[in-house]
Amino acid sequence: MQLAALRHRTESEDSFVVDPSHVRVRFHSAKNDVKKVIVHYCDNYLPLEQAKTCEMEKIGVGQCEDHWGITLEAPYHRLKYTFEVIGSDGTSVVVGDRAISGDVDKAIMEDGSYFKVPYCHEIDMVKTPEWVKHTVWYQIFPERFANGDKSNDPQGVKAWNPEDHPGREDFYGGDLQGVLDHLDYLKKLGVNGLYFCPIFKASSNHKYDTIDYLQVDPAFGDKDLFAKVVNEAHARGMKVMLDAVFNHLGDQSMQWQDVVKNGPSSRFASWFHINEYPVEPYRDPLKGEGSPKFDTFAFEKHMPKLNTANPEVQDFLLEIATYWVKYFDIDAWRLDVANEVDHHFWKKFHKAVTDIKSDFYIVGEVWHSAQPWLNGDEFTGVMNYPYTLQIEDHFFKHKLSAQELTSRLTDQLMKYRDATNAAMMNMLDSHDTARILTVANGDQDLALQALAFEFMQKGSPCIYYGTEMGMTGGNDPDFRKPMDWAKEDGPVWQRVHQLIDFRLQHDETFGKGRIKLHVTENGLIEVDREGNESIKAYFNTTDHPVEINCENTFSQDYENNQLAPKGFVVSVH
């Protein structure tokens, strides 16, 4: 047995309270190396002679590890436990809090072998909003969704042409009135969460270069109009999420302009990370100009980075965060460049917004493993790129085999608690990525197969505006074309609508049920979801039809027990 591969960490994603009387425990071993894992457990103050035993379930197979799981009962709200591990080679060890021991009988009778959960404090549990588990998001890039009010169009606005290839500085006149006019359309499509890219006053079309967080950009409308959008969305059962950048300001903001003008004597000098005065002209290391005079997002001179350790900056940003919750009743924040802001600030942010709304949803933009932000006191979830980009690597780019995909996704699921996985935001494309139909080389069946696979996963799925219209778009800024309204109710629209409807019909299982991924003997990817019902989904990513006999609740290219390439079939029991 590979002893070095045996691992468990208490009070983490490997050991977490699910309610005051139950603790979920995970254990990890080398792939195909362990035959059985038995947990010995009891209350912290009971004698070990009264310890119970239970065999763990193998809940997934990763790249190099087998993952084991079990939910243990803690009737007195305390728990201690240890692992008896039986190897495929017949050897046995106890993996305990202090050591790995080969003397099993002795180790299981020593208190020092037991991991401890001192008390199941409900206040320390990682809780995620119930409503998120029943939500399908729709991402709106306001400048390109719909032009409902031509009177607020920016100067030089271009004609609304979905076939255009937008330039970085182009404006098409999309606004909040356009969203308001199409809320019934979104209701018909079936989505029940609206994720808005920034709506605040800014110079660009994307609005990530904020000038004033407390004003709606005049080209989009005003605060009264936004309030109406939120109220009308809520009346239709839709949640509303705003997008903000608290990592940096735009260089046209009042604070930064004061620094440009007054240098070190500016009252806002300590609001930024300034290395040298005067701050202009900017030095770009990418152009060989030397070290920057101030820190920015990436090396973008128009986005000076905020010093979020400064109490004045904290107060400024927290006022913004709470303002839109208190006065406009938004339900969620998506936080841009969230990983570059300090944890101390995000803890304050979390408390400020959840003090107003206990079930508020906080999503961070983090493109890598995000455990440090997901312990219940910072973000609810993140934009789950390490998960969804691997879906693209298999379905579209063929970089991963089916087996590599399922093992990697299983490993990803093990990084987080169950409640956190259920609150991740899953998307295959967005305002930051090429559209899935383009990545799929124009193959609509393939794009919809991958989208269906995303919708079977744990987490809250999100589609990017226009996916339901079969829109295409390469890299930035081509994926921000004006919405193609001519395709409403067309064949692609109908298939996306059916997928959304299917997910929400079974949202209790999809939102909260267990998940297991593996590859069948004939090469299909199988997704098993267990909750209120049993859902099995099969995806054919091979280059030939595969025979499979299962109940057809929902499918694509499945007929006479033959699942075609790019097809899927889902059965519900």
Which of the residues are catalytic? 336, 365
Alpha-carbon torsion, ordered 436, 455, 361, 336, to 10 deg: -20
* b/e per residue 391-422 (b: at least 16 CB within 10 A): bbebbbeeebebeebbbbbbbbbbebbbbbbb
- Cα torsion 406, 412, 415, 419: sign: negative
The candidate with the shortest Cα–Cα distance to 564, out of 541, 531, 530, 536, is 541
**Degrees (nearest 5) of the Cα angle 476, 482, 485?**
140
Number of CB atoms found within 10 A of residue 442's CB: 11
- Mark out the alpha helices in 263-342 (DSSP H runs): 311-328
Q: What is the DSSP letter of 289?
A: -
Number of CB atoms found within 10 A of residue 556's CB: 20
For residue 61, the cross-strand partners are 66
Q: What is the DSSP letter of 151?
A: G
Residue with tokens 């089916």: 402
Amino acid at 236: R
For residue 54, the cross-strand partners are 39
For residue 530, the cross-strand partners are 514, 534
At residue 280, the 3 state secondary structure works out as coil
SS (H, E, C) 428-476: CCCCCCCCHHHHCCCCHHHHHHHHHHHHCCCCEEEEECCHHHCCCCCCC
The candidate with the shortest Cα–Cα distance to 557, out of 536, 565, 448, 549, is 565
